[in-house]
Amino acid sequence: MEMATARDRLVDSLVATEVVTKSSTAEALRAVPRHEFVDDDQQELAYQDRPLPIGNDQTISAPHIVGQMLDLINVEPGDRVLEIGTGCGYHAAVTAEVVGDGNVYSVEYDEELGEAARERLADLGYDVAVRIGDGREGWPEHAPVDASYLTCAAAEPPTDVIEQTATDGVVVGPFGEGQQQLQRLVPQPDGGYEAETIAPVRFVPMQ
């Protein structure tokens, strides 16, 4: 099966089961060649709805999770988004399809993965800024952003990321130790946040 056909079938299934509800999210998932973000020996598995290893004990998230999180941050063209955990760059590319060039700022702790993602994104034509560093610190130079999300599980929502997200924005990520919950957080003017729990999940822990 051709990659594009497999990708369309995958997205069709996510839409049919209402895992993905926004048309912009579905279009973004259709546009990004997930197989280009995994090693050659994983490419035949790229359009199965499952996480895959990308090296250094990290994974590329399952497409349904990427789609669900993109729905939850509810962004539009021109919105500025902070990503914590670049990984292979796939999630950032999907987000960039919605918000446009130059609007995604991604922080990766693992230098090898971050450098590879930066190069891969550029080669595929995505203008995504990638910084190597501690995701807990966010990226203050680009604050405030309209939305933030984490692709790795933190015990608690990082304070800096909350503070760098606009009070009319949203932070989405997996939080908790052992039992993780995908949550949607709305930052408040006092530095706190309101939290909505979406579903139990399992992500690699934040480094």
Based on the residue annotation, tell me whether 61 is a catalytic residue of this protein: yes
- Could you tell me the CA-to-CA distances from 103 to 53, 59, 98, 128, 185 in Å, in that order? 27, 24, 10, 7, 21
Cα gap 185→169, rounded to integer Å: 9
Angle at CA of residue 182, ends 178 and 186, nearest 5°: 125
Longest dimension (CA), the chain: 53
**Strand 180-187, strand 165-175: pairing:** antiparallel
> Are 146 and 81 a contacting pair, CB within 8 Å?
yes
Helical residues (DSSP H) of 106-197, grouped into ranges: 111-123, 159-163
CA contacts within 13 A on the Cβ side of 165? 31
**Strand 52-55, strand 180-187: pairing:** unpaired
How many other β-carbons are positioned within 10 Å of the β-carbon of residue 67?
25
Catalytic residue, candidates 13, 23, 61, 148: 61
> What radius of gyration, in Å, describes the C-alpha atoms of the chain?
16
Catalytically active residues are 61
